[in-house]
Chains A and B, each alone.
Chain A
Amino acid sequence: MAIDYRNECAVFSDVVGVEEADGLLEWLEINPGKPVVLEKCQHLHTAILQVLMMFKPPVSVFPANEELCNWLTELWPQNPGE
């Protein structure tokens, strides 16, 4: 599984495919405000991206992949506290 749903966060890794969209949507509905950890994520399918854009969960760690990070930081205004 490319998304590991833990108690306090969802941890993304590698390539998150379109088939994870339902699961993510469900988790975000049940766990509003809980952060996502994107550090190890290499790619998100567009379907995953739009679900994240809808719910705007806090991103606790942005992807290490610089290019992907550039895209996502545009969407998530950087938290000054971080």
Chain B
Amino acid sequence: MTPLLEQFISESRDFLPEINEKLMRLETEAGNAQVMNELFRLVHTLKGNSGLFDFPEMTRVLHACEDLLDAVRDNRASYSESMADCLLEAMDFSGMLLDEIESSEKIDSKHARMSVELTASLLHLIESKQESNKAVGLAQKNDRSTIFKLPNELDSDLRKRLYCAIVNDSLPVVYIEYAPESECFFKGEDPFFQVRQIPEIVWRSIQVTSPDFDIKHIDPYQCGLKFRILCRAEASELQELFRYTPEQVKIISLTPEDLLPFDRIKFPEGIQAERTDQTLDELGEGEVLALTEEQTIALREILCAQRDVLAQADDVPWLKGRLRSVAVALTAIHRALGRIDSIPMIEAALNDALAHETSAPLQEWLEKHAPETALISTALEENADFEPKFGRRAEDVICGPKTLKVDQEKIDRLMALIGEMVVAKNSLPYLALRAENQFGSRELAREIKTEYAVINRIAEEMQDAIMQVRMLPVSFIFQRFPRLVRDISKRLGKQVTLVMEGENTEADKNIVEALADPLIHIIRNSLDHGIEKPDAREASGKSKAGRLTIRAGQESDRVVIEITDDGRGVDPEIVKRKAYEKGLIDEIERERMSDREAVNLVFAAGFSTAAKVSEISGRGVGMDVVRNAVEKVNGTVVMESDNGKGTRVLLSLPLSMAVTNVMIIESNNQIFGVPMDTVVETVRVSESAIRVIKKRQAAVLRGRIVPLLSLNRLLGIGTRQRLDDDNKYAALVVRIRGEQVGVLVDNFHETVDIILKPVNGILSGLNAYAGSALLGDGSVLMVLNPKELV
């Protein structure tokens, strides 16, 4: 992919969400001219960008969007919800095309039809009559359902032959009707050339369609022909051929029936021009048509432009500047032509013009020398391979933009490298230990430790710096929500005001991306089950429109997201009953459970409060999906509800998850890692302090009863945990879903920073492990996942 195409894709990706956001903003602030202008500019730029490439499907749709917005700006059309729908759809379509461009660097011609349809529906929204005929024309073309008749001239023999070809040999037969627009020559099109590219032609006809073509009134620059062709190529191939002008061509794959009947015999007698006698509109002299040598055209154009500039009104404050620039331009082209002798004359004319503050002297000079420049042009024509000799390559400073867009892969690579460095650095303490124990050099050991401290600091700073690069504002996912809320609430017949706060809160890219799905799920849930229909809301004394607030913020090293709605809330009694019915809780739990705990049962697997399966929240895929997704990135989710008044869902996630701090523990002569964020404390419990409650071991720690579990048993190892010299067990207290559990191990070791790699292959099915990591001495550390283990 060329850097230019990459730039295009990346810029377009920035534009689309902005356009979407503005389209929706206009729904509530229809008259906001600033938003409108900004929107127009974005669409205009996007269209312009796409025009640099060969993406007619995209350019066409965006062009129609631009036309439509222009019409709205000029009050020729009024902005409406259905218009917004249409424009949003066009943006979705463009986004889809972008995906395709990104993966294959081109657009499949199969999208041409969709593009034409979208364009038609967009243009249709422009109420103005003179525009709508264009739209109607578009809408009818390419439509198999419109009844069409094969040309009468087709003789019976040919029909029969083609009929057999389709039926017996299953060869495709396609009918093409191409009516180029009359102005097409001005766009550089040559329809005849186009149709000559059609392969396997079996029948052809060229007709004069323009009703007013006759020898007296012919305007050769107005295309008045219609081409009809039958060929044996695939329709897709032809669509590709006519992809730039799909609205002017009908491509129809014929069925055998289309070729019936055979009885009519009328031989195609050449193709007679069907003449009528209206007159053609007079067309202005087409200077655009001069298709001679490139430089000559450029030269003439520049000269014409200077003439036009000089013809502008003189009474502007910037006249002198304008005159000077014209003189500079004229001087430049004369120099380019090697006519240095003219330069003093231009200068004289300029001085004259400046002195009298009028364009006249320059104009006169130009007129006088016009014939001369014409001579120059013919001279240029003779010298056909003339090419400007430009200077050598640029060696000067190149001023780049202040922000860089960097491919994510590059950042990931940097991240992986720093990860390796963190690990490598961890080998220094081992080295120090060896220096002291094995080689008996305490001094060297100390020096290594000092160096380690320095490298450690730099590594930490580097790690921090790269983390910063990976930080992404949550607006990256928030920006999709207005559209989501709009579409869903519309479908549900509810009114919802969405409020978003703290969109600038940043977190690691992976975290932000991991947030998207759970958040969407929570929002859907709120809209579907939380916020009531307008009449229900009114009945309970609330405002018609519900309010959904999504607030993001940072709390120490965690990003916290709060989703609040003022809907009907969650009834803890109903939740409890349901959970009981589904066997998620037993009788005792049901009695004992607080309302707060009850509400959070919605996150339990296999729980769904919806009375029936709804389209929005899916088929009973409960909120447990949310919890799983959030916990996967070490986050937590809690729900609070005020019955009848609303629900609040609180998500808390780490800012980053690239580097994990783990504590190394030992059990059965193996070492394991335990993520520090789950570790509450490490304690030593004497054997005598362990009690057995309901066949389970527990101990009283800091006034609380903490259940104790043996790691060996959890891992299915038959050995008992080892006691230390004081007859005490090492207990690692971890927090799992808000509850403390003591895990008995053999011994504790130091904590280390590691880059956690997911477990691959056969082991990936083992949920007991969160992943593995490489240690400084080259050994592999298996990191436990306490949540799954216990």
Contact = CB atoms under 8 A, between A and B. Distances in A.
Interface in A38-59: 43-51, 53-55
B204 A50 contact: no
B215 A55 contact: yes
A45 B289 CA distance: 12
Interface residues of A, number: 28
Given A49-B225, A53-B206, A71 B185 contact: no
Give the one of B191, B218, B269 with max A CB within 10 A.
B218
A22 interface: yes
A46 B223 contact: yes
Given A45-B193, A77-B270, A21 B208 contact: no
Given A18-B185, A74-B206, A77-B269, A50 B223 contact: yes
Contacts of A29: 215
A21 B221 contact: yes
Contacts of B180: 46
B220 A25 contact: yes
A81 B201 CA distance: 28
A17 interface: yes
Give the one of A17, A45, A48 with max B CB within 10 A.
A45
Nearest to A46: B192
B215 A54 contact: yes
B779 interface: no
Contacts of B290: 19
B218 A54 contact: yes
B40 interface: no
A75 interface: yes
A67 interface: yes
Contacts of A44: 192
A74 B223 contact: no
Contacts, number: 80
Given A21-B220, A55-B215, A46 B225 contact: yes
Contacts of A67: 196
Interface string B196-229: 1000010011101000011100101101110000
Interface string B287-301: 001111000000000
A43 B196 contact: yes
Contacts of A74: 204-206, 270-271
Interface string B173-207: 00000001000010000111100100001001110
Contact of A49 (B192, B201, B291, B292): B192
A25 B220 CA distance: 8
A68 B273 CA distance: 19
A27 interface: no
B186 to A, nearest CB: 10
Interface residues of B, number: 29
Given A18-B185, A22-B220, A46-B185, A53 B196 contact: no
Contacts of A5: none
Contacts of B206: 49, 53, 71, 74-75
Contacts of A68: 196
A28 to B, nearest CB: 8
Nearest to B270: A77
A17 B185 contact: no
Contact of A47 (B185, B196, B271, B292): B185
A17 B223 CA distance: 14
Contacts of B191: 46
Nearest to B268: A74
A67 B196 CA distance: 8
Contacts of A75: 206, 270-271
A71 B206 CA distance: 9
Given A46-B223, A47-B220, A53 B208 contact: yes
Given A25-B220, A50-B220, A74-B206, A45 B270 contact: no
Nearest to A76: B270
Contact of A19 (B190, B201, B273, B289): B289
A47 B223 contact: yes
Nearest to A68: B196
Contacts of B220: 21-22, 24-25, 47-48, 50-51
A17 B188 CA distance: 11
Contacts of A17: 291
A71 B430 CA distance: 86
Contact of B193 (A19, A46, A76): A46
Contacts of B204: 70-71, 74
Nearest to B223: A46
A43 B193 contact: yes
Contacts of B223: 46-47, 50
B192 A54 contact: no
Contacts of B185: 18, 45-47
A67 B225 CA distance: 19
Contacts of A54: 208, 213-215, 218, 273
Give the one of A46, A49, A75 with max B CB within 10 A.
A46
Given A47-B185, A74-B206, A53 B270 contact: no
Nearest to B210: A50
A60 B225 CA distance: 24
Given A18-B190, A55-B215, A50 B225 contact: yes
A21 B180 CA distance: 18
6 contacts: A43-B193, A47-B185, A49-B206, A54-B208, A74-B204, A74-B206
Interface of B: 180, 185, 190-193, 196, 201, 204-206, 208, 213-215, 218, 220-221, 223-225, 269-271, 273, 289-292
The 7 closest A-B pairs by CB, nearest first: A21-B220, A46-B192, A47-B220, A46-B191, A77-B270, A51-B220, A49-B192
